[in-house]
Chain A
Amino acid sequence: QKEVEQNSGPLSVPEGAIASLNCTYSDRGSQSFFWYRQYSGKSPELIMFIYSNGDKEDGRFTAQLNKASQYVSLLIRDSQPSDSATYLCAVNAGGTYKYIFGTGTRLKVLA
């Protein structure tokens, strides 16, 4: 059973701090990795994707991928209360368009 694991949280961080969200996956054939943000009652919004080992930065967001250890993380710098949401990690296997999602980590940024 191919799985994507996330800590359900809630992860609470003070405003202005760095939030670190982690995700592990079981399928070594996974090639593409995605982070979605989902506000309560809304649909998931793609915020980062990463295909290669290393870091990828976009504004306040950094995605980190380590294929050898089978984990992907998302760092949110200068966290704001508006970042409070559930963050979903998704993985697709071997160049397919079949995605497996983690159950999400709930982030709370405290003002």
Chain B
Amino acid sequence: KAGVTQTPRYLIKTRGQQVTLSCSPISGHRSVSWYQQTPGQGLQFLFEYFSETQRNKGNFPGRFSGRQFSNSRSEMNVSTLELGDSALYLCASSLGQGGSYEQYFGPGTRLTVT
């Protein structure tokens, strides 16, 4: 079974721009979660989508948004980029139901904001 895929793997953007990251979950997984990882803050939960609906949300500003499509693929958007948004953005997929809570991460997108 193919793992979680994320595109692009690397991005360099300028402050004030916006960016869209994509994540394709493991086949059969309906839950996709997004995380931001920085050396100072560790892994911080952004949000989780299940069946095209945001089911859980972390404590990030509204500049961070996401969506999920009917095939469970998910996108995350960050608008008005700030220098502090430079980080590794990870998505993770899970079944999302049935008492199975294991999450599997994709390789991540490394975003650099200059």
Contacts and interface: CB of A to CB of B under 8 A. Distances in A.
When A and B form their complex, which 4 residue pairs have the shortest distance between CB atoms, in order from nearest? A101-B43, A98-B56, A103-B42, A32-B101
21 contacts: A32-B101, A34-B103, A43-B90, A43-B106, A44-B90, A44-B105, A46-B103, A46-B105, A88-B43, A90-B43, A96-B56, A97-B48, A97-B94, A97-B101, A98-B45, A98-B58, A99-B33, A100-B45, A101-B35, A101-B42, A101-B44
Contacts of B43: 44, 88, 90, 101
- The size bracket of the interface on A is 20 to 34
A92 interface: yes
Interface of B: 31, 33, 35, 42-45, 48, 50, 55-56, 58, 88, 90, 94, 96, 101-108
Contacts, number: 55
A92 B101 contact: yes
B50 A97 contact: yes
A97 B55 contact: yes
Contacts of B102: 34, 46, 49
Interface in A15-60: 31-32, 34, 36, 42-46, 49, 51
Main secondary structure of the interface of A (DSSP, over half): strand
Contacts of A51: 101
Interface of A: 31-32, 34, 36, 42-46, 49, 51, 88, 90, 92, 96-104
Main secondary structure of the interface of B (DSSP, over half): strand
A102 B105 contact: no
Contacts of A101: 35, 42-45
A98 B48 contact: yes
A2 to B, nearest CB: 11
A43 B44 CA distance: 14
B56 A97 contact: yes
Nearest to B40: A103
Contacts of A98: 45, 48, 56, 58
A98 B45 CA distance: 7
Nearest to B48: A97
Of listed A43, A92, A96, A104, residue having the most chain B CB within 10 A = A43
